[in-house]
Chains A and B, each alone.
Chain A
Amino acid sequence: MELKVKQVNRLDGVREALYFPALYVGFRLTVKHFWRNLFGSRDVVTINYPEEKRHVSARWRGRHRLTRRENGFLSCVACYMCETVCPSKCIHIEAGEHPDLSVEKYPVVFNIDELRCVFCGLCVEACPKDAIRMDTGVISMAYTSRQTFDFTRDLLRDNYDPKAHSNPKYEDYDLPSPSNQQEALPNSQGVPAS
């Protein structure tokens, strides 16, 4: 087989040997950018990271969160699907009896060790109740101690900013609202996931 060779025309002649035409073209470009950015930084594409954040795609798998029902309780029914499917064994669930008989179970303990998590998203796919999602938009977790990476149930439920949410299609009842919880189960005993 014959190799395909692309011939690039070499620029030759006096024009190239003089350097100055090429210098002029280069200078026109760099000086243009310099003057445009000297007053007002018009072309600057930098995102000043900690202050400004880049738009995160709705499908980006960020830190997990636990969703709520319309009445404010956790959607999770402690079925252990996510814990079973998790390839890095970072989810730990302990089930408890839910006061609402139609729900049966709720997670008393729901811990995710974010240091072990590989962000594969299998827990989200496995969940039958859409109770765990990875759409918080938190794409970098940086803390100073290992314990901080152990996210407990309440942290996973509350610790996210709906405005920084990566998915614009989230439901309104996902937002935490204490009044909802009071109305939802006025006669509840025990400790529901409020």
Chain B
Amino acid sequence: MLLEIIMIPAVLAIIKIMVIILLFAMPLGTVLTLMERKWSAMIQDRVGPNRANIGGFTGHGVLHLAADGLKSMFKEDTMPKGADGFLYLIAPFFGLIAGVATFAIIPLAGPIGNFTFQVTDIEPGLLFIFAITSLSVYGAVLAGTSSNSKFALLGGTRASAQMISYEVFMGLALMGVFMVYGTTRVSGIVDGQNEYWFGNLIPMWGVFTQPLGFVLFFTALIAETKRAPFDAPEGESEIVAGYFLEYSGMRWSAFMLAEYVALVGVASLITTLFFGGYHVPWLHLWENAPQWIVTILQLLKFSIFTVFFCWFQIQLRWTVPKFRFDQTMALGWKKLLPLSLANMIVTAFVILAFG
């Protein structure tokens, strides 16, 4: 009886959404808020947060997660005078919703019979991602315009200009992937990466078939999340904190959490599209492997790659200096856009000639 209820597609989808978001995306994003501070401390030969404690137990700073949560819950939710109340109140959640919605199409492991480890495998697939990332622009823009603050407005303007510019070639950079695997459906792209070149030597991962596309797409995604080196919209040195300058308490935390959920989203997208998704390379050589071991290995491989790319983005943030805003724009329009067009055309000709 219970199994029948669970197998109703709508109920199953809701359960999957809960599991993927509450057990994968959100916890990883929350832990990353602490890990970013901890890891940056290691990079810079510091100790990092280690003071929050319960009766002397600090757990190397783990309790700062609880401390931060409690602090933002009990802080006053301020609103500046003259702010557009409704927009000001809903703006933080646009970014969060957009970040979370990315996980709707990401498969965590291979399907077992009819059951998939994916909320939905829609035909438009990655076009859905483009639509959702466009939505996340609204978070920054609405926060910037409704705050009634000049710095916030500047940050919002910068964020909208940057995100819309980088969205243009984010799509173009993925065209190569669509052409190589012949589909926009995520499961199709992931399965396409399970083929091999030269017998069983090299898996046909996206990063090998589309190396330039990988670099371009990764760059665009980092610019979309507004993290260093593309954090001109926040621009601590010039415009204080950019578009979320006036926020406090839980709404500010929503912006912060949105950033880290987007970071996890970027990492899992990169894993899915360019590093074979959940497919463990060379696993097909193990004939008649038990299904449950395969699934666990797939979950493990996906998680490890996702965590690695989260780490990579954090490492990148603490390595490279910030682009000036005009440099961000010049890089996007003058270098990366022509490159992605060229990548698309070359891919098309190669497929026409050899495919």
Contacts and interface: CB of A to CB of B under 8 A. Distances in A.
Contacts of A30: 43, 315, 318-319
Main DSSP-derived SS at the B contact region: loop
A33 B39 CA distance: 10
B311 to A, nearest CB: 9
A17 to B, nearest CB: 8
A27 B319 contact: yes
Interface in A23-39: 23, 26-27, 29-31, 33-34, 37-38
A45 B45 CA distance: 6
Interface in B39-86: 39, 41-47, 50
A31 B315 CA distance: 8
A153 to B, nearest CB: 37
A29 B45 CA distance: 12
B320 interface: yes
Interface residues of A, number: 16
A43 to B, nearest CB: 5
Given A23-B320, A26-B320, A27-B319, A33 B43 contact: yes
Contacts of B320: 23, 26
A41 B47 contact: yes
Contacts of B318: 30
A145 interface: no
Nearest to A20: B215
A46 B42 contact: no
A44 interface: yes
Contacts of B319: 23, 26-27, 29-30
A189 interface: no
Contacts of A34: 39, 42-43, 315
16 contacts: A23-B320, A26-B319, A29-B319, A30-B43, A30-B315, A30-B319, A31-B315, A33-B42, A33-B44, A34-B315, A38-B42, A41-B42, A43-B45, A46-B45, A46-B46, A48-B47
Interface of A: 23, 26-27, 29-31, 33-34, 37-38, 41, 43-46, 48
Interface of B: 39, 41-47, 50, 315-316, 318-320
